[in-house]
């Protein structure tokens, strides 16, 4: 359980509520044998904890899955000995810049000694790998 900091410095909170809400709160307080103020505080605490938990959980999941995807694609990229040009028959994402590659698009499939799902690079990322070594030598003086 998370430590509860909120009680440490207590403040008054005045708020306008409808008659219906007041009746409902009073009824619920009677039912739970609690002062109305404590019931309100419990309800607010519960609502905030719920929101915090939801936000923390979804942020955590998103961050973790991004990290995992990044780590996986980086590990995968290191294993690749070559890139083979092809036309995609179904959509994929570039393993480096994560751009969406549609079916019919030119892409480069990473050839790896390791089995696993294929990695693709977009043409821009392949160009960023630089020209083949032979071309560079020819241009050198």
Where do contacts with Zn ion occur on this chain (CB under 5 A)? 94, 96-97, 122, 125
**In the chain, which ranges are E strands?**
80-87, 92-93, 100-101, 106-112, 120-121
Element (H, E) at 38: helix 36-78
**CA-to-CA distance for 80 and 12, rounded, in angstroms?**
63
Closest separation in Å from C-beta 87 to Zn ion: 16
Considering the complex, state which of residue 39 and residue 122 has its C-beta at the smaller distance from Zn ion: 122
**Closer CB to Zn ion, 112 or 123, in the complex:** 123
CB closer to Zn ion, 119 vs 122: 122
> Which SS3 state, helix, strand or coil, does residue 100 take?
strand
Nearer to Zn ion, 92 or 96 (CB): 96
Tokens found for residue 91: 């959509």
CA distance 86 to 122: 11
Least distance CB 94 / Zn ion (angstroms):
3
Rg (CA), the chain: 29
Considering the complex, what minimum distance in angstroms separates the CB of residue 72 from Zn ion?
16
The least CB distance from residue 10 to Zn ion, in Å, is: 54
Kindly state the smallest distance separating residue 121's Cβ from Zn ion, in Å.
Answer: 6
For 9, the 3-state DSSP assignment is coil
> Which residue lies nearer to Zn ion by CB, 45 or 100?
100
């Amino acid at each position: 359980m998370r430590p509860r900091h909120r009680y440490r410095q207590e403040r008054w909170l005045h708020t306008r509520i409808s008659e219906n809400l007041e009746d409902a709160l009073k009824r619920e307080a009677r039912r739970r044998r609690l002062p109305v103020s404590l019931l309100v505080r419990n309800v607010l605490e519960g609502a905030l904890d719920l929101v915090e938990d939801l936000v923390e959980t979804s942020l955590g999941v998103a961050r973790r899955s991004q990290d995992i995807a990044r780590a996986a694609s980086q590990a995968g990229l290191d294993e690749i000995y070559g890139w083979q040009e092809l036309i995609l028959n179904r959509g994929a994402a570039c393993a480096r810049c994560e751009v969406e590659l549609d079916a019919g698009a030119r892409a480069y499939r990473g050839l790896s000694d390791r089995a696993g799902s294929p990695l693709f690079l977009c043409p821009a990322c392949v160009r960023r790998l630089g020209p083949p070594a032979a071309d560079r030598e020819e241009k050198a003086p």
